[in-house]
Structure 1
């Protein structure tokens, strides 16, 4: 062997050893590549040793983007799932905006896969073509005859790992339109054997959640908040806290929303907080109780609606209903609900050597806290950094329009000399009483049926506490006074309903309210699907056939909704339940996906209902990761059923009554006998799966109970005539 020990040879070898290939897009959306990420937002990084890293722009709270987006890169690049790793993208909305949210970086609305499917495939395909081109030039071969499989480039009688061509590829321009794989050639996309990338670190303890972080010299801060919603701290007495070992100090937050209590560790902070008394100004705080809020919402749906959502002729709808052969009518009420993720809210802030700050957080919407911290600390945006970590669930709670808990942490840090990191910790009790909930909502529906049992008119009125009004999103997402999140799933139902009117009235918020897994669909799906069963029963028709008739002759929405309805009915044995069991079915479109669920129960409402089986059919376009889709459907079903069965948040004179899982009981593993998920094969673009499994679950259960028992129109079920085994 001859060694090249010249200076030029040494430098060339060193450059190759340090080479990194980044592939992504420029802020204008054009594909780009280079040896440094400065001029582009990279989605894939390939190091000189051939290590491939997917840079995941959607945070991981258990819903699967760390696996899904990595799969797209691996598929197009030609590497195995074992040979690709991932890291979370930095907070940089200019580079990593969620295209569904405009210029904001964030994860939500089941948009991760729909937003990123083509971006990540194109980045992987571009990297593949650049590496092949580099190999072709090195071998003097035709690039068309080369391919990449399991990280090895082969063809023209030669083969070599991709690592050998990283340095050369890093000097190339990215192809403007790389050739994507034909779906018939997919080895990873759609493969049910592809397992989650985050399962191992989460089971062996190496995954770092925000709660796990412990920085040298950090202080722990907890917030003593007003028990009454909206109360402000005007002063405090910490004499008792001074006796707690590890207690450091306390201070009223600059916005007076609470008192920050600092200690050397979490236990000391909680103990000290218990020993502090606060003077609360509750003059502008919430003083209503849940019964009063309920009455206000029910009064609103029994009055003329404030907004005509769809512009339909209300008088004409009323005339159709009044002239119908029979009228079916129900009023529904849905209470406040907490998100209750398994990991309560927490984050850590530290000062950086360059005068900036870093936020360590399971950050769902980086753009919000990024801007808030820049304002609080009077820093340019590039001096605020967010290190995104795993989050132990969210269901919407970590994506508040006000960046509430991150602002708490920033204000607590700003009150110190900033020489020590500050870790903000919420307890489970803080979380349940924390003040951001699924809104309380009421519905009233009147359906007229003609002599043949067909719908002649549908009058649907909704009274809700608006999520978006009064927030930074109002100008973008509230149109004509209508907060669409209050009426989605009803006003835009795929059912072909004649003379349909939808009206909306806003009712004053009792607490800060927020999107909760599947947002407005959580209540609109329940009402739509329960009323479909009520109308079918009144018409003397089979509930599945009744729904299918309302989907006939439609377009893609109707056909896909009918497809999952038929599949769930077939796989769940609709109409052939064993003796002693009852069945209920529901179908709903949300977040671009179509889901039908059939619930089979035993027992009865008086002696105890047992959920024996849930059969689910889902059409979410191309099924990138069937294992993830199945898990998300199972989780969404459990989330929807558990809350409908026994959960509510109530207020007594503005004070939340519930505080932890003993009085806000989560679904138990024994509550559901089995869940079976069937995925519809599809060539359509992928849509969301994090939320669509939730909406049909509760109405399918309600319809199963009503088959031989009471019709439940107010939740939770266990407080409204239904016991569970």
Structure 2
């Protein structure tokens, strides 16, 4: 990624901000980041856009990534604090403004949080910020004291010299701010870290969230604020044909009713008035282009496509084809797996505050992809994207839902503010039912697998077909080749690497149901298919599932080495003895650069599986914050287990059947297992951790049930009905 350099730009701005553009600078011309950031704030302090140091020495790290429970704010701050040698107890975090040029996710090219990339894409960027700033303070102290810089030590925001001289950051602030930063600051060797990788790193937002001081979008209050709710069509793709708002306008507190592209909005002085007004609306919908099929009919079509009966309208795209030639002979194993639509079911439903006043637009919202929200808002209000101000708040979860190409709930709010706000801030509120029925689900998926086994019981050929909707089709990020979000986890699997002949393809039939990435995206189903299939093959071969995997990882060579290590760690830590009354199941999977092995202990309680203990072995590169990694494993496993046990969105004649947690059951606290997390002691850049724990638990549970002697699981959720 490149960036235009203004002739007046100082070397300090270039050096400290160099990691923003990956160190690659373009003189002349204009980059995408430049264009998207026109009108955005440009004034940063002497230490660049990621760091502020106050006169009292207080250190503020500016986070370009949103905090929605994954702990990224704390991890990002620790990277800076480690290289800066700042007093961790006095480090605070501030959310960055929306600015695609300065605060781009280096893996995405726009400002956004997702793909478990927050720490991974910031690793070198923020370490360089901390190291460069430390060097500036050291040079300032050396000049002031008349001593060599190499003789100055820094610890907990205090610089010291063997002569006894000391000074805090605050004392040297003015002098340090005038020092030119080094072009290539010296970074610490991992063995010298005193903060990264230690349990000293604890969440910086826990206290505020525990006391209620933390600010979420639903908490926002402002003079003259209006509240809006939207009546959406019951079927996806339907549009407003006509509506009668006479009864709605009679509700006390309702101030306006307006049509927007996605429905009819009721604007009121309170949430309750907005709801009552919406309930009183009479809307007639044009369903000529609506999706009217139920999920059973759609799944039937998927089965026909997988069987080769899709006709000319279906195009199969290869995601792994190798070793083609004469098909081997041997025992044949065949199976299929079906996965339902899933809702994200965030604790905080979608909401947004928009204000259009004096030619300026401000959004106050938990923005997961600020650049996308700026772009979509700019189209509505007729402004430059960079001029759209976004105050990004904490979010009560996302799991992918708050970051989508159309900025659905954000643009709804902007449309309403434009039509009915009259300069006042407008808060859009979605109920749980709105959130559950508005779409953007994890896609429904069908896999079929046909494997020919060699004489030792290992795969000699592997034929794999996947049928699902494409998340990326028609999006600004539409791929030129196969949509890898649908097959990641199967594509590149060490099991396929270990198989001599592979024919793996995917088909993307169209459907009117809006779909989106869901925590761990393609791995949500590919992990299950690959790992549950392996246990069935191991049983046919008369082998222990762990030993069978180990043999395949060795066959895969370097592509299986990390899986082998993570599996061995989990096995060692689980110990030889299973908890009485429970049966063990194992699964190993890589997603977002991280390999996770899980051993789940499962028993049946009536007709429902109960997971008592999960042991996880994790390979995630440098463990920046071990305690937070453990927390993410616990949260990810519970989230994945919830979906595996109960998660299912269905439609009858195109109308979603589920509306709240009474019909979309989720895991309760008393059902949560004990999770033990063990991390391989590695160096190198950190990889993702927010999502990789999620997809592994479902196959681990399925494999435990299979080990009990129960039939293989060919569809989720485990609990039917």
Taking structure 1 as the reference length, the TM-score comes to 0.91
Is residue 429 of structure 1 aligned with residue 433 of structure 2?
yes
Aligned to 1:262: 267
Equivalences for residues 598-677 of structure 1 within 5 A: 598-603=599-604, 607-677=607-677
Report deviation, 1:422: 0.7
Find the partner of 1:500 among 499, 502, 506.
Answer: 502
Aligned counterparts of 1:570 and 1:162: Cα–Cα separation in 2 = 46
Find the partner of 2:545 among 538, 543, 547.
Answer: 543
**Over 3 Å off, 4+ runs:** 22-32, 38-41, 313-317, 553-557
Find the partner of 2:423 among 419, 426, 430.
Answer: 419
Aligned to 1:356: 360
SS of the residue corresponding to residue 552 of structure 1 reads helix
Report deviation, 1:449: 1.2
Aligned to 1:453: 457
Q: Alpha carbons of 1:642 and 1:194: their partners in 2 closer, same or farther (altered >3 Å)?
A: same
Equivalences for residues 351-390 of structure 1 within 5 A: 351-353=356-358, 355-390=359-394
Q: Alpha carbons of 1:429 and 1:308: their partners in 2 closer, same or farther (altered >3 Å)?
A: closer
Between 1:230-239 and 1:384-393, the stretch displaced more is: 230-239
Aligned counterparts of 2:19 and 2:125: Cα–Cα separation in 1 = 11
Aligned counterparts of 1:419 and 1:567: Cα–Cα separation in 2 = 59
Taking structure 2 as the reference length, the TM-score comes to 0.92
Report deviation, 1:23: 4.8
Equivalences for residues 35-184 of structure 1 within 5 A: 37=44, 42-102=49-109, 104-155=110-161, 156-184=163-191
Aligned to 1:224: 231
Q: Alpha carbons of 1:127 and 1:313: their partners in 2 closer, same or farther (altered >3 Å)?
A: closer
Aligned counterparts of 1:172 and 1:374: Cα–Cα separation in 2 = 39
Q: Is the 8 A contact 1:293 1:510 kept in 2?
A: no
Q: Alpha carbons of 1:127 and 1:241: their partners in 2 closer, same or farther (altered >3 Å)?
A: same
Report deviation, 1:582: 1.1
Find the partner of 1:394 among 388, 394, 398.
Answer: 398
Aligned counterparts of 2:395 and 2:181: Cα–Cα separation in 1 = 34
Q: Is the 8 A contact 1:26 1:95 kept in 2?
A: no
Q: Is the 8 A contact 1:23 1:44 kept in 2?
A: no
Report deviation, 1:413: 0.9
Aligned to 2:39: none
Aligned counterparts of 1:71 and 1:558: Cα–Cα separation in 2 = 32
SS of the residue corresponding to residue 504 of structure 1 reads strand
Report deviation, 1:193: 3.4
Q: Is the 8 A contact 1:27 1:40 kept in 2?
A: no
Structure 1: gaps of 5 or more residues: 1-19, 721-725
Aligned to 1:15: none
Aligned counterparts of 1:461 and 1:31: Cα–Cα separation in 2 = 41
Aligned counterparts of 1:580 and 1:45: Cα–Cα separation in 2 = 56
Aligned to 1:277: 282
SS of the residue corresponding to residue 545 of structure 1 reads helix
Q: Is the 8 A contact 1:244 1:272 kept in 2?
A: yes
Aligned counterparts of 1:392 and 1:372: Cα–Cα separation in 2 = 23
Paired residues, what number?
Answer: 685
Report deviation, 1:284: 0.6
Aligned counterparts of 1:217 and 1:307: Cα–Cα separation in 2 = 55
Structure 1, residues 188-216: CA drift from partner, whole Å, max 9, x if none?
10002321011111111111111111111
SS of the residue corresponding to residue 683 of structure 2 reads coil
Aligned to 1:592: 593
Aligned counterparts of 1:311 and 1:436: Cα–Cα separation in 2 = 28
Aligned to 2:292: 287
SS of the residue corresponding to residue 660 of structure 1 reads coil
Is residue 238 of structure 1 aligned with residue 245 of structure 2?
yes
Aligned counterparts of 1:27 and 1:585: Cα–Cα separation in 2 = 41
Aligned to 2:447: 443
Aligned to 1:11: none
SS of the residue corresponding to residue 597 of structure 1 reads strand
Aligned counterparts of 1:190 and 1:38: Cα–Cα separation in 2 = 29
Q: Is the 8 A contact 1:341 1:392 kept in 2?
A: yes
Report deviation, 1:236: 1.2
Aligned counterparts of 1:654 and 1:40: Cα–Cα separation in 2 = 55
Structure 1, residues 702-721: CA drift from partner, whole Å, max 9, x if none?
0001112121111111118x
Structure 2: gaps of 5 or more residues: 1-12, 26-41
Find the partner of 1:532 among 534, 550, 555.
Answer: 534
Aligned to 2:712: 711
Structure 1, residues 484-506: CA drift from partner, whole Å, max 9, x if none?
11111112112322212211111
Q: Is the 8 A contact 2:469 2:515 kept in 1?
A: yes
Find the partner of 2:316 among 295, 307, 310.
Answer: 307
Aligned counterparts of 1:36 and 1:249: Cα–Cα separation in 2 = 40
SS of the residue corresponding to residue 99 of structure 1 reads coil
Q: Alpha carbons of 1:151 and 1:595: their partners in 2 closer, same or farther (altered >3 Å)?
A: same
Aligned to 1:560: 562
Report deviation, 1:244: 1.9
Aligned counterparts of 2:399 and 2:484: Cα–Cα separation in 1 = 19
Report deviation, 1:38: 7.8
Aligned counterparts of 1:195 and 1:90: Cα–Cα separation in 2 = 24
SS of the residue corresponding to residue 688 of structure 2 reads coil
Aligned counterparts of 1:306 and 1:499: Cα–Cα separation in 2 = 22
SS of the residue corresponding to residue 553 of structure 2 reads coil
SS of the residue corresponding to residue 59 of structure 1 reads coil
Is residue 696 of structure 1 aligned with residue 696 of structure 2?
yes
SS of the residue corresponding to residue 321 of structure 2 reads coil
Structure 1, residues 298-350: CA drift from partner, whole Å, max 9, x if none?
21222178334246269647x22xx11x1111111000000011011111011
Q: Is the 8 A contact 1:601 1:611 kept in 2?
A: yes
Aligned counterparts of 1:211 and 1:360: Cα–Cα separation in 2 = 10
Aligned counterparts of 1:40 and 1:357: Cα–Cα separation in 2 = 29
Q: Alpha carbons of 1:25 and 1:418: their partners in 2 closer, same or farther (altered >3 Å)?
A: farther
Q: Is the 8 A contact 2:343 2:436 kept in 1?
A: yes
